[in-house]
Amino acid sequence: MRSIHLIALLMLLLPSSGYSQVQSLQQVLQQVRQGSQQEQLAAKQFVHNSQLDLQQLQQQGQQLNQQLQQIQQHNLQLEDQLLVLQQQLKDKQSQLNTEKSSLTHVFQTIAEHEQLLLDSVRPHSLWQHDTSGINLNNEQLDLARIKQLWQALTEQIVLTARVQQHDAMVLDSKGQPHAMQVTEYGPFTAQTEQGWLHYLPAQKQWQIVALQPQLSHLKQGFWLDPSMGQLIQQAGQNRWWQALAPAGLVGVLIALIAIVATIIGVNRLFYLYQEKQRINRQQTQVNANLDNALGRIIAATNTVTDANLAAHLHSAILNELPALQKGIGTLAVLAGIPPLLGLLGTVGGMIETFTVMTQFGSNNSELLSGGIAQALLTTQLGLMTAIPLLLLHCAVKNKSRQLSQQLEQEAAAIVIQQRQNQD
Write the pLDDT tens digit of every residue in 273-297: 888 888 888 777 767 677 777 778 7
Strand ranges, E, within 90-214: 163-171, 177-185, 189-192, 195-200, 205-208
Highest mean pLDDT: which range of 21-35, 210-224, 337-351, 352-366:
337-351
Using the Cα atoms of residue 76, residue 82, residue 88 and residue 91 in order, give the sign of their dihedral.
negative
Looking at this protein, which amino acid is placed at residue 334?
Answer: L
- pLDDT-derived band at 305 (thresholds 50, 70, 90) equals low
Alpha helices (H) in 122-229, listed in sequence order: 143-159
pLDDT at 262 over 90: yes
Residue positions counted in the chain? 423
Residue spans per domain, the chain: 246-422
Select the more confidently predicted residue: 247 or 261.
Answer: 261
For 117-150, the pLDDT digits (tens) are 777 777 777 777 777 777 766 667 777 778 888 8
Select the more confidently predicted residue: 363 or 103.
Answer: 103
| Average pLDDT score, the chain | 78
pLDDT of 237? 54
- pLDDT-derived band at 392 (thresholds 50, 70, 90) equals very high
pTM equals 0.48
Enclosing H/E stretch for 254:
helix 248-283
pLDDT of 71? 92
What values do phi and psi take at 206, rounded to 5? -95, 150
- pLDDT-derived band at 361 (thresholds 50, 70, 90) equals low
Q: Give, in degrees to the nearest 5, the angle at Cα 198 between 192 and 200.
A: 120
Looking at this protein, which amino acid is placed at residue 355?
Answer: T
Query: Which CA distances in Å does 218 have to 214, 215, 231?
Result: 12, 9, 18
Query: Which residues on adjacent β-strands are paired with residue 331?
Result: none
What values do phi and psi take at 200, rounded to 5? -105, 105
Looking at this protein, which amino acid is placed at residue 421?
Answer: N
pLDDT at 245 over 70: no
Contacts of 244 (CB under 8 A, 6+ apart): 251, 377, 381
